[in-house]
Each structure stands twice: as C-alpha cells, then as structure tokens.
Amino acid sequence: MNNSPLCSQITLHVPPLMWEQFRHALQEAQAKNQEVIGFLFCKHHQISDQAVRYWPQAWVVPTVDCYESQSVNGLVLDQQFHLYLLETYLEEGLDMVHIHTHPGQEFPIFSTIDDCYESQYAKFLANRFNHQLHLISGIFDETFQKFQFRLWNQTGTAFQPVNFHPSWFALAASESSTVQETDPIFARQQIFGTTLQNQLSDLSVTLIGCGGIGAAFAELLGRLGVRRWTFIDPDHLEASNLNRMPGATWNMAEQHLPKVEYVKQLIENIYPTDSEITTIPTAIENIEASADCAASDLIVVATDNHHSRQVAQELALASIRPLIALGTHIEIKPDGLPRMFCRVTVPPLGGDWCLMCGNIINLQQAALESASPEIGNLATQAGYLKSVPDPAVFWLNSICASTGVGILQGMLSGFLSINAGLDWIYEFPESKWHKTDPDALTTSSCYFCGLGD
C-alpha cells in the first residue's frame, strides 16, 4: 500500500479529438439520464520530480443497459459490466479516470456521497490490483463548461487537485506569467492578448532538424515569443547552407559550427538572459530522446529524410505530444519549368492518422535510409536512395516555416480548429494551397497510431 505523499503537479491531458468524441457520447447519454458517468483509462508518466502527466488510451461511456440502478443518489453499474471494465483496462495496468456530471450550470462541487463512494473505490482498486493503480475523479456541470478533477491516494484517505487539459497543449494556467505586459519586444503583437504571449513564453519545443527549414522555424517562432527549446541535429554548418540559414555567416561555416549551436544563437539573440535551451548534436535515430520529447509541449520535425520523420512520429505518439512536420520539395519538369512545394502536416494528437498511414512519409524509403551502409550503397547505386542533396531555397523554406508558426499560433489561441489534424500543401508558381481532407486520412488499423487492445 502506497501511503507516501503524492506528487505536487498532476496533469490529465486528453487529446482534443478524443475529448470531442467522449463528451459527445456523454451528452447523448445525458439526454436519457440526469446524471451520467464515463471512464477514461490512462497511462501516466513522471515528467519531473514534481510533475506527473496522465493521458488516456481509451474511453468508455456506459449505455443505459450497463447500469443496475440509476437515481439522483447515484448510479450503480451492472456487476458484469464493471468486471468487464476492470479486466479489459485495469489489468493492462492503466489508471482509471471516473467522470460524472452534476445537474445545473453551477461550478460543480464534489458531494459527500461522491467523497464516500470515491474513497471506497480508490481503496477497492488498490486492493484488487497488485500494481500501483490510481483513481482520478472528475465532475462537470451539465454543460461541460465547468469542472473539477482530483487524484485519490491508494488508501482512499486523501486526494489532491488535478489540472485537466482537453486540448493540444497542457500548459499551466498563466498566473505565473513571465511576460511583462509592458515588455517592449511584444508591443506590436499585443493585439493577440497576454494569454497567448504567456503560453508562448511557457511553451517548450523540441525541434528535430536544424537545417534550412528548422532554423527558419526557430527564428520565426522565437520572435513570436518561444524561448524554451531542445535542438536535435547531427550536422555542422557548411558554405552550402549559407543560401538559406538566417543569420549564418562565412565564419560559422568555416568553423563547422554544429547546427544546434547556430540555432541556439538565433534564440539567444532574442532572449540573451532568459532562454532555456538544450542542444543534442546527434541524429534523432541514434539517441534515446523519448524523455526529452515527452517533457516538451511540442515536437517539430524538419529533417530531410523519411526515417527520422518516422522516428519523430513514433516518439510523438508514444508520449502523446503534438507533432508538426515541415517539408519542401523542388523539381524541374521535363519542359524545364520548376515546380515547388511546401507541406505542413499536423497529425491529430493521440492517433487516428499519422505520417505513416497518411502516406506523408514513405516507409520503404525510411527502411532503406535506416539500413546498413552496405545496403544503403546498393540502394543508392540502384537509384532507390538519392546521392545528391535535395535542392532548397530560403524563400520556399520560409513559406513552410512561417505557415507552421501561424498554425501553431492558431492551435494555441484556438482560432484554428484542427482536432482531426491538418495537411496543407502549397504549390508554386500556381500559388495554390491544397488541403487534404483529414477524414480521408483516418485509418482504423494503423500499426503505428492504432490504439489496439
């Protein structure tokens, strides 16, 4: 029995698409009953000594026939159904989030009946399962606007508050803001509000790939207000980078400055004293980066090969972090005219579709790139892998990076509703944005992003 003091900062982060589906099911059940309940089954992850994050793997909203009795004094689940929940989800090692509604539109307060029932239930779960299993409970008003969440200890004797975020980003409430309202840097973007500015100031970003697109992205997002970064890239600056890396100098290229150090300087130019930057001068495929990724609020991948993008997507899925993938492509048609593309892809948080099942990256290509050098050489000779670097220009990279930053601003502010994900492709010189219909990308059985049981 674990009676130790609980950790101080607990977050329940529910992907927006899942929350939409779950809430919709609750509302349908609500049409039949006054009070309804639903369950989320979660994994949890210790982010730091002080912080734990819970995120759901599955949700269940019982239908009318799953109850033994329903009254204002409480809901009693059918024994068989209850057993099914325990066997299906809790024996897998998932934690339980129990959610119910209270009638009315007041701020919901846990009742003494709730206290009593939940305390017993937390104790029951801890006794029933040998592993460390936690109970979180939540209540909503009938409109699902106001809520309260709490985490029980395993003896059912105490609980502590849980921060609930049904959104892309689980950023803490912006009371402890670091941005001064009078900060002259942001005078010209005050129109977007202090909430956004504080969110940007708190947001931590892992950028995988600090080349032409990644560096432009860091420069643009840094200027918007992001100062907490992890940069991952194995390469060094060379003269051939000078056509597209903002602020890069001949001196840096001659010194073969690591790209992560160069991008770090871009951020330090803006925030000389209060940036928080980690540099990892290694390829994402070669490092155990999951801890860094899970601890940051956003993963951005801007590498030039399929395998690293696959690894980034897998990391994002494993740690339920939002992922923004940026890429450009230039080709010369047989008639000698260029065609240029840039692509920004944001797969939905927590699955539904991903870079792999959405065919945003090519798995065969990714497999060849990660193969042994001998196989890689054969594949290059046979023309399956390119032997010359892709063409790239600063202005096209900038359209891509700028659009990615704009999308992120929209996700943070909520003016861009992309719960089902986003895949935009810009085509030049036609000057057209193609928007892939996310419904067409949804798959039920992806090896990578399918939830599975």
Q: Binding-site residue total for Zn ion (CB under 5 A)?
A: 7
> Tokens 């339980």 appear where?
96
CA dihedral 103, 106, 107, 108 (to 10 degrees): -20
174-182, 246-254, 329-337, 351-359 -> range binding Zn ion (CB under 5 A): 351-359
Q: Which residues contact 262 (CB under 8 A, 6 or more apart)?
A: 210, 215, 237, 245, 248, 252
Out of 75, 151, 221, 449, point to the residue binding Zn ion (CB under 5 A): 449
Out of 26, 340, 357, 411, point to the residue binding Zn ion (CB under 5 A): 357
* Nearer to Zn ion among residue 222 and residue 351 (C-beta): 351
Looking at the chain, how many residues does it have? 453
Q: Of the candidates 189, 301, 302, 312, which has an alpha carbon nearest to the alpha carbon of residue 245?
A: 302
Q: Report the chain's C-alpha Rg in angstroms.
A: 24
* Nearer to Zn ion among residue 220 and residue 357 (C-beta): 357
Out of 213, 299, 354, 405, point to the residue binding Zn ion (CB under 5 A): 354
CB 164 within 8 A of CB 19: no
* Nearer to Zn ion among residue 112 and residue 431 (C-beta): 112
Q: CA 353, CA 452: separation in Å to the nearest integer?
A: 13
Q: Which residues contact 117 (CB under 8 A, 6 or more apart)?
A: 74
How close are the terminal C-alpha atoms of the chain, in Å?
A: 28
Minimum distance between the CB of residue 341 and Zn ion, rounded to whole angstroms? 22
* Nearer to Zn ion among residue 258 and residue 322 (C-beta): 322
Q: CA 221, CA 317: separation in Å to the nearest integer?
A: 23
Looking at residue 306, its amino acid is H
* Nearer to Zn ion among residue 218 and residue 366 (C-beta): 366
Minimum distance between the CB of residue 171 and Zn ion, rounded to whole angstroms? 26
* Nearer to Zn ion among residue 96 and residue 354 (C-beta): 354
CB 205 within 8 A of CB 300: yes
Q: CA 328, CA 229: separation in Å to the nearest integer?
A: 23
Sort strands 204-208 and 298-301 into parallel, antiparallel or unpaired.
parallel
> Tokens 């950023």 appear where?
171
CA dihedral 85, 87, 89, 90 (to 10 degrees): 110
Q: CA 319, CA 239: separation in Å to the nearest integer?
A: 37
408 binds Zn ion (CB under 5 A): no
37 binds Zn ion (CB under 5 A): no
Minimum distance between the CB of residue 18 and Zn ion, rounded to whole angstroms? 15
Minimum distance between the CB of residue 240 and Zn ion, rounded to whole angstroms? 35
Please give the structure tokens belonging to residue 448: 């990578």
CB 346 within 8 A of CB 322: yes
* Nearer to Zn ion among residue 295 and residue 354 (C-beta): 354
Minimum distance between the CB of residue 357 and Zn ion, rounded to whole angstroms? 3
* Nearer to Zn ion among residue 42 and residue 354 (C-beta): 354
346 binds Zn ion (CB under 5 A): no
143-151, 188-196, 332-340, 350-358 -> range binding Zn ion (CB under 5 A): 350-358
126-134, 198-206, 347-355, 414-422 -> range binding Zn ion (CB under 5 A): 347-355
446 binds Zn ion (CB under 5 A): yes
Q: How far is CA 350 from the centre of its chain?
A: 7
Judged by DSSP in three states, 132 sits in: coil
* Nearer to Zn ion among residue 241 and residue 310 (C-beta): 310
Minimum distance between the CB of residue 242 and Zn ion, rounded to whole angstroms? 37
Q: CA 196, CA 226: separation in Å to the nearest integer?
A: 11
114 binds Zn ion (CB under 5 A): yes
Minimum distance between the CB of residue 106 and Zn ion, rounded to whole angstroms? 12
36 binds Zn ion (CB under 5 A): no
* Nearer to Zn ion among residue 75 and residue 260 (C-beta): 75
111-119, 212-220, 229-237, 364-372 -> range binding Zn ion (CB under 5 A): 111-119
Minimum distance between the CB of residue 259 and Zn ion, rounded to whole angstroms? 29
64-72, 188-196, 426-434, 441-449 -> range binding Zn ion (CB under 5 A): 441-449
Query: What residues make contact with Zn ion under the rule CB under 5 A?
Result: 111, 114, 354, 357, 446, 448-449
